[in-house]
Amino acid sequence: MGARIFLIGFMGTGKTTVGEQLASALDVPLFDSDQEIVKREGRSIPEIFAADGEVHFRKLETAMLTELAAGGPAVITTGGGAVLAAENRDMMKKSGFVVCLTATVEEIVRRVENDPNRPLLQGGDLKGRILALQEARAGLYEFADLALDTTGRSLADIVGEIVMKLSAS
Ligand SMILES: Nc1ncnc2c1ncn2[C@@H]1O[C@H](COP(=O)(O)OP(=O)(O)O)[C@@H](O)[C@H]1O
Ligand SMILES: O=C(O)C1=C[C@@H](OP(=O)(O)O)[C@@H](O)[C@H](O)C1
Ligand SMILES: [Mg+2]
Provide ipTM, 2 decimals.
0.99
Q: What number of CA atoms fall less than 13 Å from residue 151's CA on the CB side? A: 11
Closest ligand to 103 CA? Answer: 1
Span 7-13, average pLDDT: 98
13 marked among binding-site residues: yes
137 marked among binding-site residues: yes
What is the residue range of 59's domain?
Answer: 4-168
Per cent of the chain over pLDDT 90 is: 96
Is the pLDDT score of 2 beyond 70? no
Q: Using one digit for the tens of pLDDT, what is the confidence trace for 39-60?
A: 999 999 999 999 999 999 999 9
Span 59-86, average pLDDT: 97
Q: Which residue owns the Cα nearest ligand 1 atom 13?
A: 111
Q: Using one digit for the tens of pLDDT, what is the confidence trace for 103-141?
A: 999 999 999 999 999 999 999 999 999 999 999 999 999
Burial per residue of 116-139, b for 16 or more beta-carbon CB atoms within 10 angstroms, e otherwise: eebbbbeeeebeebbeeebeeeee
62 marked among binding-site residues: no
Are the C-beta atoms of 78 and 7 separated by less than 8 Å?
yes
Is the pLDDT score of 144 beyond 90? yes
How many structural domains is the chain composed of? Answer: 1
Q: Which residue owns the Cα nearest ligand 1 atom 24?
A: 111
Is the pLDDT score of 147 beyond 70? yes
Q: How many residues comprise the chain? A: 169
Is the pLDDT score of 11 beyond 90? yes
CATH number assigned to the domain comprising residue 137: 3.40.50.300
Per-residue CA distances from 41 to 34, 46, 85, 89, 131 (Å):
10, 12, 21, 24, 30
Are the C-beta atoms of 23 and 72 separated by less than 8 Å?
no
pLDDT of residue 169: 83
pLDDT of residue 41: 98
